[in-house]
Chains A and B, each alone.
Chain A
């Protein structure tokens, strides 16, 4: 599959880290609120120096897990260890962990400088050292000019930089980011994502972030975990999770996907064949899944951008579907076609707009959707 052949920079970085020992380990952590589990037996290892994202819809428990790490919530069960030290019952003010809040939580009555110095003053550092460190932090986020300003005199992006600098000022062993871009508008968001990653990497701090925005998680994180109903569904690099989702929830949560029920006809070492009543020809996959599966009813997951839209019937015996164009979303760079198969199921396919105003299929046109033998993934139902 793609994950095995394609490697990106973040993939390489993440792989290097696997060799390192875990900095933070979350062991069987659960949090119960009035009989429902916000976090349900979560096990997770965070490696030193990586940026790790907890990704999930609202109510998936990702924020609760982050608050447990910060110490604002105590887990109902389980242990949290940081660098060998048990943090589970430790109050937030004693933890060597700092957090950047979604609302930034800058102290409105203090200047930028005083905000940065707040944590250092709690450690009773000498005045000269506080001044020195605050100065370095201001340099790092390029806010030296604004040292004497109050938070309400800053723009959204500037506030975020101050919040980041404040959470890094104490040189925490681990940094927590709660929806780091949540308070910014879209344009600024993309710029700040890269800026924040640059700063985090230059500092080399281990970082756990929470976000509901998959693009943000994939841009910023080395590895991510998909959470749903308090449980972790899959952990891996962005490429792993996108290209090789392990279940339907993950496949559907990250990006868009066509899911077609299919039955295994043959499962050999070098290929497998599935048959779906909704498709005119069988599905051929260029590798086997596993020999040990008794279950025959599976789901075939196919990303729209890995399909090709044809106006003539393909000649092959495998991997195509026929239907009519139901809907077209023209997005400039590409168009998303919603094709209604003869079975009634609507699948999505992407057509890149390589030429200006070239003739392309339109509504009610008869079209064919085809794909390569390594384009899709087989999931258990």
Chain B
């Protein structure tokens, strides 16, 4: 087989290096600029439904930048509550994912080497079906005439059905269910690398298993824990489908509000401003995530 020597092709080097940047430019920076530009326009009944940035009239070029949308964001506390609730739901879902995911990841990492791939497959298998179908399935399970309520009433545990669908409880169930693999996989990847002799050394030095866990295993899995948490927290803040389908009227998440502003109110500038602020809020966790990943890569070298 002939191997192609890339260094002989002119421009190949630049092509390889610049392609990810080109990708980021086209699919991240450009859309971001467009969203930012819309957020400083004013809503209009036109196509597109916002005012133009540049106007040429009477031999003058005027640039109109309006901060009305941002003022509106601050004035109406609905938006603040939506952000707050999104962060709250994301935070507690992340916590629940840790509480459920850590023991699962730990068990898989400790399982005999030949059964580990099977166990991981079982974690991943559900995500091979459509996300939407799985959320709908939860609607079937949680609704007043759903499987769970039928079982509860049938066994005589409760007199009538418990309202579960269209509550924040259902949102938590859906979010934790959907995002659990994103917690388990990075945690597993971290835990499986742990050196068992460290635990033997701890035991040799007088530590019982529970102490070894909290003083050796847990601190050493910090990076996996952070990576998993970010993979859950960041997308859940902007989650739309789950609160829309499983949540109720009182579920106020930023993804849902954004959709409403965009499609129901046709207020594109406000929706754009909402999206922009959300990105700014998520910037901090994203930066933490990148830093941890950087450290992990450096540690491997």
Contact = CB atoms under 8 A, between A and B. Distances in A.
Interface string B243-284: 000000000000000000000000000000000000000000
Interface stretch (B101-109, B179-187, B193-201): B193-201
Interface in A128-176: 166-167, 170
Contacts of A92: 200, 203-204
Contacts of B203: 71-72, 91-93
B205 interface: yes
Range for the number of chain A residues in contact with chain B: 20 to 34
A119 B215 CA distance: 12
B111 interface: no
A354 interface: no
A270 interface: no
Given A101-B201, A105-B195, A107-B198, A170 B206 contact: yes
B197 A118 contact: no
B211 interface: yes
A70 B199 CA distance: 13
A103 interface: yes
A105 B203 CA distance: 12
B220 A98 contact: no
Given A107-B216, A108-B220, A118 B200 contact: no
A109 interface: yes
B189 interface: no
Contact of A105 (B197, B208, B211, B215): B197
Contact of B207 (A70, A101, A106, A118): A118
B20 interface: no
B219 interface: yes
The dominant DSSP class at the B interface is helix
A355 interface: no
Contacts of A170: 205-206
A91 B220 CA distance: 24
Contact of B208 (A70, A93, A109): A93
B162 interface: no
Given A101-B197, A103-B195, A105-B197, A93 B204 contact: yes
Given A105-B195, A108-B220, A119 B205 contact: yes
Interface in A182-235: none
A118 B204 contact: no
A94 B203 CA distance: 9
Interface in A101-116: 101, 103, 105-109
Nearest to A118: B205
A122 interface: yes
Range for the number of chain B residues in contact with chain A: 10 to 19
A99 interface: yes
A149 to B, nearest CB: 16
Nearest to A109: B219
Contacts of B219: 109
A312 interface: no
B202 interface: yes
B198 A93 contact: no
Nearest to B206: A122
A123 B207 CA distance: 9
Residue from B195, B206, B208, B211 having most chain A Cβ neighbours under 10 A: B206
Contacts of A93: 203-208
A317 B219 CA distance: 76
Contacts of A103: 195, 197
Interface string A275-287: 0000000000000
Contacts of A167: 204
Nearest to A178: B197
B204 A98 contact: yes
Contacts of A72: 200, 203
Report the 5 A-B pairs with minimum CB-CB distance, sorted nearest first. A119-B205, A122-B206, A105-B201, A105-B197, A92-B203
Interface of A: 70-72, 91-94, 97-99, 101, 103, 105-109, 118-119, 122-123, 166-167, 170
Given A108-B198, A118-B207, A118-B215, 19 more contacts: A70-B200, A72-B203, A91-B203, A92-B200, A92-B203, A93-B203, A93-B208, A97-B204, A98-B205, A99-B204, A101-B200, A105-B197, A105-B200, A109-B222, A118-B202, A119-B206, A122-B207, A167-B204, A170-B206
11 contacts: A70-B200, A72-B203, A92-B200, A93-B204, A93-B205, A98-B205, A99-B204, A103-B195, A118-B205, A118-B207, A118-B215
